[in-house]
Structure 1
Amino acid sequence: MDIIKNLSEEEITQLRDIFEESAEGLDVRSFELALSTACSKPTRSVNLAHLRLKELFSEIDVSGDGYVSWDEFIMYIINRTDGRNKVASATGLDGVIKSYQLGEVHDEDIPKTVVRMEYIPFMDKIVKVVRQERGGSSRVRILQNDLNLTPYFDIPRQGESQAVAFTFIPPGPRCHTDNTLAISYNDSYLRFFDMAKKRITMNNETRMVKSVRLSESQTCLKWSSRYNRLVMGSRTGIVSVIHPDEMQVYNQEKLHGLLISDMAIDDSLLFTASVDPIGSVKCVDLQRNVVRYELDDHQQGATMIAVNSSYQTLFSCGFELHVVSHAMLMPKVKPWKLLDTARPHRGRITQLQLVPNTPQLFSSDSCGLTKLWDIRMNSCVQNILPPKDELDITPPEQSAASSMCVIGPSKRVIINGRNTAIYCYEGAVDPSVADEVPAQIVLVNSSMQTVLSIHQSTIKMWDLQTGEI
C-alpha cells in the first residue's frame, strides 16, 4: 500500500493507462504484471513476493467477475485509509442517506442579503452576516439553534464597513483572546468580539475586545486549534499565521497571485483556494511551512473548497457546472467530477458544504438548484428546489442560494436565497419525493424523462424533472 502511495505522477499515469486499455479492467495476471512493473523500479527496494498481489486482487474484486477496473483500484486504496473503518462504524457513515424535508421558511430579511451563515458547535449558536442590498454596511447577528432562528445578540455595526470573513476562537489556556469572534472587515481592520455574553449593552449587543489595523483586508479566516494560531488569507493571495494575543506573525507567504477565496484546515494541513487559475488549490503543511502539492482543476480559479477528514477527500468548485473530488492520499491521481446526468447543475456552483460525520455533501448553483451527494459513490441522492412563492414568478437567477449553513448535531441545513428555508433530516418521509425501501431494479426512460423503480412490493414511476412520483 505504501509503495503505491509513493509512486510518482508519471508512474501513476502509466499505471492508469494500463488499466484503461481494457474496458472490463485487468484480470489477475495483467493486474500482477502491472503492479509488479510499477513497484520494481531500481530506486525501490520492494520484495515482490511479499506484495501478495493475488490476495490483493481478490480483495479488490468484490463483484467476483474476475476483473479490476481503475476506479475499483483507487476506491480500494482510499477505503484502506487508517482508521476510516472505525470512524465509519462509530458514526454511521456507512448508513443509507435519507432525504431532507422542508421544515420552516422565513422571510424577515431582504432576499439575497444573507451573505454568510455558519454554525458554531462549541456555542451551539449560528452566526449570520446580513449585507445591505446596495453596498453599505453589514450586520452580524448571533442566532439560537432552533427552527425559528431566534436572535441571541448582535455584533455592533462598524460604520459603513462590511464584514468579509469571520472565525470563532474557542476558550483555551494558551490564548487570552479566546471565546471571541474574529471578524475581518473591508476597511483592513481585524476586530475581536466577546462571545461569552458577559458584556451585553442595552441594545443587546456584545462589546469589542480589541481592534487591529492590518496592511490589507483579509478575505478568509480560520482558527487552528492544534497550533492555537489564527490563519488569514488576503485579497492579494498572502497567507499569514499569527497569534491573536500579541498579533505576532509567525509565518507569512504569498501562495497565490490573486484573491484567496476559501480555506480549510485538516489537522496540520491547510488547504487554500484562489481565483488565480494557476495553482488554484494548494495544500500547505503548517508544521513544516511547505506546499505539499497544488491542483489546477479550474480554468478560472477555485471559489470554494471542503475537506472530509473521514474519507480523506478534498472537494473544490469554481466557475464550472460541477464539483471536483480529489483523494487527499493520492492527489496526483486524476480527480472525479461530481456530475448528475439526469439533472445536472445549470449554473456555476455558488455553495459547497459538507455535513460533519456523514458522507453527505451539498452543492448549490446560480439557478437555485441544490443537490445532495453521497461522496462514497460520487452520486446525487436528492435535488432540492427553493420553496415557491404564491405567484411563483421569481426569475431563476434570483433563486440562487446566497449562503448555506449545515448544522451537524441537529441534522439540519439552512439555505438562504430569496427566503430562508430550513430543511430537516430524518423527518417524516414524503412518499411523493422519497422512498426508504431499497430499489431492486431501476430503469431509466430518457425519451419520456422518467425512472421506473421496482421494490419488493411496489413499482413506482418518477419524473426526472421534478423528482416526484
Structure 2
Amino acid sequence: MGSIDGTGGLQSSPQKHENFRKGLLGDEKDDGGGGESDSGITLEQILALKERFDSADQDGGGSLDMQEFMDAFGSIINKDGSMTQEQIARLFMQIDANSDGGIDWNEFSTYMLMESQSSGTVKTHQVGNFFLPDPLGKKADPDWFHRESADCMLIDSVGGQYLTASKDGTLRLWTASSMQLAKTIVTGQSWILAMCWLTKSARLVLSTADRRIRFYDIHTWEQVVEVQLQSPAFCVCSWTFGEAELLAMGNEKGEVTVVDISKGLKEVRPTGKEKKQKKRPDYWNDSVTKVVHDGFIHQMEMVEDLGGLVTCGADSAIVIFEYPLQSDPNHKDRIIPRRILKHARGHQKGVKCFQWVVSHKLIVSGGLERQVVIWNPYTCKPVVSLDGHQSGIAKVQVNAEFEQVISLATDGVVKVWDLRNNECVQSLSEGENLREKGARNSSIVYDAARHRLITCGLCPHKWTINPQILNSSTDVTHRSPVVAALYNKNFGHVVTVAEDSEVTIWKPTTGNEVFNFIDQDRDAETFLSAAAFDDN
C-alpha cells in the first residue's frame, strides 16, 4: 500500500518517520539516492537509546509523557519544523501501545525494533499451502530408517547433506538432492543428545548419554577424539573468539562449560581418590565452568547481536551472558547474567528451545507449555504468545525470507507462523513414511538455501515451498474481495475489510501490515458488504 494524500500532510510522513528512526539510531546518511542502507538496529544503538530515554524521564516514573518525549526527541522528530502538532501527537499515540498517556521503555524499544525492519511491502500469499510434501518421501526404503526417533539434525552446507542423530546411537548422512541415505555411523549404544559443527577445525561434535564427547573428521567421518565428562552434555554449541575456537556444553546441573578447543587436551590419568569417588578428571587444557540455570540446560547459542551466549533451561528462564564468563562476586560458581528473560506472561515451566530472529531483533522460544513466546530481548519482556499447539514445544526454526517461525510440538505437529500478523498459516502432518512406523516428527530444520523444511522422526522428510509462492509477483492481501478501505485519522492507519470478515490494519507510510484479525464465529453463508467507524 502506498501513502495517502489529502490528510493534513500525511503524504510527507514516510520521510519524517524514516528521519526520526535514523536520527535516533545515528545512522542517517546519504546513500547516493538509489542504494539501500542497512536499517537494522544494533545492541550499541539500543543501549544508547536506553541511556537517552532514562535521562529524559525527569520524574523517574519509568515512562515519558508528551512533554518529556518532545524535550528528549523533539529535535529529531521535527528538526525542520514541518511536522504539525497533530502528526507529532499521532506518532506519540502509535508508540503508546496501551494508550495510558505515557511511553515506557518496553513500548519505545518495541516500536524501534519494529521500525528498524526493512521488510518492505507485505506479501501475504494465499495460493494454497505454503509448504508442499515431497511425494517421493513415501517411497523411502525402510532399511534407511533409524530404529528410534532422531532428536538432532544439522545441515552440511559444504557437503550438500543432512545429518540426523538418534536415540539408537547412530548418525546418518542423507544426500540433500535425492534425500537418500549416504552413510551410517554407529557411535555406540548410547542416546545421542546433541551435536554441532567446529567449522574452523572441520570437526563434528557429538554428545552422548554415556557422558562422552566425540569428535569426528568431516572429511573422512572417522572418530578422532573421545573425551569422558563428569556429566552428560545435553546441549552443545561452538563459535570463534579471536584466534580461538570455543566449544560450550550445558548439563543437568545448570552448568555451562566453555572449552578452548584450539589448546587441546591434557594427558591425565585418574588418581586413586578420583577412582574411588567415581569422579572424572578435567581433560581440557583450557576450560571454565559456571552455573547459569537451576536445573537442565536444554539449548545454547552464541548470538553476536546480543553480545554473548544465550541459554534456556528447566527453570523457565532464558539467560543472556557475556564471554569471557563473568563470575558473581557473591557466588563464585555462578555467572553474572547480562539479561534474564523470565516474566509472568512468558514461560512458567521449562524452556526447551529458542531462535534469534535477526530481521526483527526478537527471540522466539518454546517449552513445556503449548505456546510459542516472542520476546523483546532488550526489555526482557514477551511481545506476544502464539497459541494453537495441543502439546509442548520441542523445536523452533526461523524462515527469515518469508518472516516465519516454524514450531514442532512433542506430538509431532509442525506449525508455520507468520511473524507479521502472528497467525498460523499452516499445520503439517507427518510424512506417510513416519505413520507406517508409528513414529512422530522429533526434529526440524529449515534449509534457506534450498527453500525447504526438513522434518524427521525415523527418516528425514522434505517439504518444499509452494512454487506459486516462490514465483509469485502479485501482492495478495486478502482471501476474498475487499469491501471497504477506511482511514483512521487518530492513529494514521488504513483499515481494509474483506467480505469474509477479515480486517487488516496498514501503516500507509510504509505499506506494512500492522495487525490482522477475522471473525471466527461468522456464519459461512454470511458475507460483509460494507464497513464504517463508529465516531462515538
Query: What TM-score does the superposition give when structure 1 sets the normalisation length?
Result: 0.70
Aligned counterpart for 1:143 among listed residues 143, 167, 174: 174
Note closer, same or farther for the CA distance 1:97–1:232 as it changes in structure 2 (3 Å cut): farther
- 1:218: Cα distance to partner? 0.7
- Which residue in 1 is equivalent to 2:331? none
Aligned counterpart for 1:298 among listed residues 336, 347, 367: 347
* Deviations 1:309-353, CA, capped at 9 Å, x for gaps: 22211111111111111122332x4432123xxxx2122212211
The answer to whether the 8 A contact 1:238-1:254 is kept is yes
Note closer, same or farther for the CA distance 1:211–1:453 as it changes in structure 2 (3 Å cut): farther
Name the SS of the counterpart of 2:455 in structure 1: strand
Note closer, same or farther for the CA distance 1:399–1:371 as it changes in structure 2 (3 Å cut): farther
Note closer, same or farther for the CA distance 1:34–1:262 as it changes in structure 2 (3 Å cut): same
CA distance in 2, matches of 1:242, 1:273: 19
Note closer, same or farther for the CA distance 1:60–1:361 as it changes in structure 2 (3 Å cut): farther
Residue 353 (structure 1) aligned with residue 397 (structure 2): yes
Residue identity (%): 17
Residue 184 (structure 1) aligned with residue 213 (structure 2): no
Aligned counterpart for 1:79 among listed residues 114, 120, 131: 114
* Deviations 1:214-261, CA, capped at 9 Å, x for gaps: 222111111113452111112211111112241333432110121111
CA distance in 1, matches of 2:167, 2:210: 15
The answer to whether the 8 A contact 1:312-1:329 is kept is no
Structure 2 counterparts to residues 322-361 of structure 1, below 5 A: 322-331=371-380, 333-339=381-387, 344-361=388-405
In the alignment, residue 149 of structure 1 is paired with which amino acid? M
CA distance in 1, matches of 2:420, 2:73: 31
In the alignment, residue 170 of structure 2 is paired with which amino acid? R
- Which residue in 2 is equivalent to 1:438? 477
* Deviations 1:94-126, CA, capped at 9 Å, x for gaps: 655671111242453268622222213343321
Structure with the bigger RCO (C-alpha within 8 Å, sep 6+) is 2
- 1:74: Cα distance to partner? 5.1
Structure 2 counterparts to residues 23-38 of structure 1, below 5 A: 32-33=66-67, 35=69
Note closer, same or farther for the CA distance 1:60–1:375 as it changes in structure 2 (3 Å cut): farther
Note closer, same or farther for the CA distance 1:61–1:418 as it changes in structure 2 (3 Å cut): farther
The answer to whether the 8 A contact 1:60-1:68 is kept is no
The answer to whether the 8 A contact 1:61-1:68 is kept is no
- 1:360: Cα distance to partner? 1.6
CA distance in 1, matches of 2:398, 2:238: 18
In the alignment, residue 282 of structure 1 is paired with which amino acid? V
Q: Which moved more, 1:301-310 or 1:375-384?
A: 375-384
- 1:423: Cα distance to partner? 0.7
Name the SS of the counterpart of 1:159 in structure 2: coil
Q: What value does the CA root-mean-square deviation take over the aligned residues?
A: 3.9
- Which residue in 1 is equivalent to 2:97? 69
**Radius of gyration: which is bigger?**
2
Structure 2 counterparts to residues 214-229 of structure 1, below 5 A: 214-227=229-242, 228-229=245-246
Structure 2 counterparts to residues 100-139 of structure 1, below 5 A: 100-104=131-135, 105-106=137-138, 107=140, 108=142, 109=145, 113-132=149-168, 138-139=169-170
- 1:55: Cα distance to partner? 8.2
CA distance in 1, matches of 2:441, 2:215: 28
The answer to whether the 8 A contact 1:315-1:326 is kept is yes
The answer to whether the 8 A contact 2:209-2:232 is kept is yes
Note closer, same or farther for the CA distance 1:412–1:452 as it changes in structure 2 (3 Å cut): farther
CA distance in 2, matches of 1:56, 1:229: 54
- 1:401: Cα distance to partner? 2.3
Note closer, same or farther for the CA distance 1:364–1:67 as it changes in structure 2 (3 Å cut): closer
The answer to whether the 8 A contact 1:364-1:400 is kept is no
Aligned counterpart for 1:50 among listed residues 65, 75, 84: 75
CA distance in 2, matches of 1:381, 1:169: 35
- Which residue in 2 is equivalent to 1:413? 453
* Deviations 1:292-321, CA, capped at 9 Å, x for gaps: 111223222211111112221111111111
CA distance in 2, matches of 1:210, 1:235: 23
* Deviations 1:146-183, CA, capped at 9 Å, x for gaps: 2x32233333x233222211111113xxxxxx111011
* Deviations 1:393-413, CA, capped at 9 Å, x for gaps: 99xxx6742111211100111
The answer to whether the 8 A contact 1:233-1:260 is kept is yes
- Which residue in 2 is equivalent to 1:378? 422
The answer to whether the 8 A contact 2:359-2:400 is kept is no
* Deviations 1:27-74, CA, capped at 9 Å, x for gaps: xxxx614746xxxxxxxxx75653547789948958x99895349855
Note closer, same or farther for the CA distance 1:419–1:185 as it changes in structure 2 (3 Å cut): closer
Name the SS of the counterpart of 1:321 in structure 2: coil
CA distance in 2, matches of 1:414, 1:56: 52
In the alignment, residue 371 of structure 2 is paired with which amino acid? H
The answer to whether the 8 A contact 2:125-2:476 is kept is no
Aligned counterpart for 1:274 among listed residues 301, 313, 320: 313
Structure 2, gaps ≥5 residues long: 1-23, 25-45, 99-105, 265-283, 327-335, 483-497, 502-517, 529-536
Note closer, same or farther for the CA distance 1:420–1:51 as it changes in structure 2 (3 Å cut): same
Residue 195 (structure 1) aligned with residue 218 (structure 2): yes
Aligned counterpart for 2:261 among listed residues 238, 244, 247: 244
The answer to whether the 8 A contact 1:100-1:427 is kept is no
Name the SS of the counterpart of 1:347 in structure 2: coil
* Deviations 1:399-443, CA, capped at 9 Å, x for gaps: 74211121110011112247643110142569xxxx973313142
Structure 1, gaps ≥5 residues long: 19-30, 37-45, 133-137, 172-177, 198-205, 455-469
Residue 213 (structure 1) aligned with residue 223 (structure 2): no
- Which residue in 1 is equivalent to 2:9? none
Note closer, same or farther for the CA distance 1:79–1:139 as it changes in structure 2 (3 Å cut): same
In the alignment, residue 129 of structure 1 is paired with which amino acid? A
The answer to whether the 8 A contact 2:356-2:362 is kept is yes
CA distance in 2, matches of 1:305, 1:266: 12
CA distance in 2, matches of 1:66, 1:214: 53
CA distance in 2, matches of 1:448, 1:399: 37
- 1:453: Cα distance to partner? 9.3
Structure with higher helix content: 2
In the alignment, residue 182 of structure 1 is paired with which amino acid? V
Note closer, same or farther for the CA distance 1:427–1:191 as it changes in structure 2 (3 Å cut): same
Name the SS of the counterpart of 1:229 in structure 2: strand
